[in-house]
Every structure is written in C-alpha cells, then in structure tokens.
Amino acid sequence: MKKLDGKVAVVTGAAMGNGEGIARVLSAHGASVALWDISDRVFETAESLSAEGGKSSSYKVDVTKFEECRQAAAKILSDKGKIDILVNNAGVVRLANFLEMSDEIRDFHFNVNIKGTWNVTKAVLPNMIYNNYGRIVILSSVTGPIVADEGETAYATTKAALWGFGKALAREVAKNGITVNSICPGYIMTPMADQIARESDPGNPDSVIKGIASGVPLGRLGNIKEVGDLVAFLSSDESSYITGTQVVIDGGSTLPETVSVGV
C-alpha cells in the first residue's frame, strides 16, 4: 500500500517546474491529484500523469480570482467528495531594482504569490475543517526569509510573507487535525531557472547554471522530484506531528558565510 493511497490532492502551478514534479511524486505515492494552473499546458501534464497510470485531473484556474478557485474546489468535491492535501505552489518572479519597479510588477507578485495562496486556501480549507483532517504545504523560498539578491524586493517580500501566513494558519487549524508547513527551496532546476539563465547570458546559459552550482555546497542544483519527495512527506501521515515549520531544501546554499556565485 502506498502512503498516499485514497488521498485527494490539489497542486497549484502544476503545469511545469516544481508544481509538475510535486504532482508526479504525489501521484506515484497513490494520491488522486488535481492539477491547477493558468496555463493550458496543465491539461497536457495531467494527461501525461494519467498515461503513466496515475489518477489526475486538470483545471485551468487563475489563483488571483477567488471565484475561479471556489468553483474548481467545488468541482473536485463533487467528483471526489473531499480534499485531503493542498500544495500552494503557484508563484511568479520578475526581477527589477526597487526604484525601477512599476506598481504593476509589484502587484503582480503580491496578487499571485500572496493573494493566490490566500484564495486557494480559503476555497479548500472548509472541507478540511469539516473532515477534521488536512495537509497544507506552502512553497515559500530561501529568497526573502533567509537570503536575497538585487532585483528581488517584490519576490522576496511575498515569499517572506508566506512564512507568517503558514505559521498563523497552522496555529489556527491545529485543533481541526490540519497541519500547515512551508518549504523553502533554494536553486532548483526549473523552467524559471532556465529562463533566468538565458536572460543573464543568452549566448551561454549553461555557464550561468554552472556558476550557480559552484556556490552550492552539494555542487549542483536540485531537481523537481526532490522537492516533490519533501512535499509527499509533509503531505503524509509520516509527518503528523509536524506543523508550523519551514523546511529548507537548498543543497546547503545558505550555509556558506562567504560565497562567490556565477564567477
């Protein structure tokens, strides 16, 4: 028997990157996974999971709009009868120095990273409270709460805010048998990381990735399956006595007191 057999999970931002990796791992552990994303690619990802023998469904959802979140949650409850696991993964990043950042780009971060997490959680949580059971996992970041680089003020602010949201919510719903934990990834090889590398050095993006890896004590970037494995643990009954925490998965990149990256 797999550790997530019989569980119903919602994963946001599941079309690609960390969200896709998380959805695949949860599915491999037996969960029925509902993939949410604003991109049409979410349908292709869900079909791929089903073709591999997983139980998956796909929903095109804009997490900045509560009504879309509510309707998607209602459809899952109608089809599956419950939601046991929520993974708030949907997030965006646009680099710009503070004084050069437009209000539109600032609000884009706030609306997706903070308001999106708020909306999805508010749509799913009532059923968890009703069932007196739930696992909520929030994808924060090492960026903001622990470290930061130039151009990350909006992104860092939102990811730090998710720490506070997770802690406060964990305290509020502990009496309902629900755990809430945050994951703080460091450098993970995702389409977003690839995009940043290509923007940094269009002629040789691999050199950017190698430069980043040289500053990670384990000598490489993480992969989306490793993030998924951690989410699966926090989504299972193996973690039943863990709540209100922040778990860093960064290959040790936040360990060095002095580091030179990208040289």
Tell me the domain boundaries of the chain: 8-186+223-249, 189-221
Which alpha helices (DSSP H) does the chain contain, by range?
17-28, 41-51, 66-80, 103-109, 116-131, 153-173, 191-200, 205-214, 224-235
The whole-number pLDDT of residue 6 equals: 97
DSSP-derived 3-state class of residue 248: strand
Q: Which amino acid is at 172?
A: E
Told to judge if 133 belongs to the known catalytic residues of this protein, a careful annotator would answer no
pLDDT per residue of the chain (263 residues) written in tens, 0 to 9: 899 999 999 999 999 999 999 999 999 999 999 999 999 999 999 999 999 999 999 999 999 999 999 999 999 999 999 999 999 999 999 999 999 999 999 999 999 999 999 999 999 999 999 999 999 999 999 999 999 999 999 999 999 999 999 999 999 999 999 999 999 999 999 887 888 788 778 899 899 999 999 999 999 999 999 999 999 999 999 999 999 999 999 999 999 887 555 44
Q: Which CATH number fits domain 8-186+223-249: 1.10.1530.10, 3.40.605.10, 3.40.250.10, 3.40.50.720?
A: 3.40.50.720
Closest CA to 63 of 19, 121, 143, 128: 121
What pairs with residue 36 in β-bridges? 12, 59
Contact 232, 4 (CB under 8 A): yes
The rounded distance, in Å, linking the Cα atoms of 76 and 59 is 10
The token duo for 262 is 């990208």
The whole-number pLDDT of residue 205 equals: 87
The rounded distance, in Å, linking the Cα atoms of 89 and 134 is 17
What pairs with residue 59 in β-bridges? 36
Q: Which of 59, 130, 133, 155 is catalytic?
A: 155
The rounded distance, in Å, linking the Cα atoms of 165 and 118 is 9
The whole-number pLDDT of residue 194 equals: 83
The whole-number pLDDT of residue 263 equals: 44
Query: Which uninterrupted H or E stretch holds 184?
Result: strand 178-185
pTM of the model: 0.95
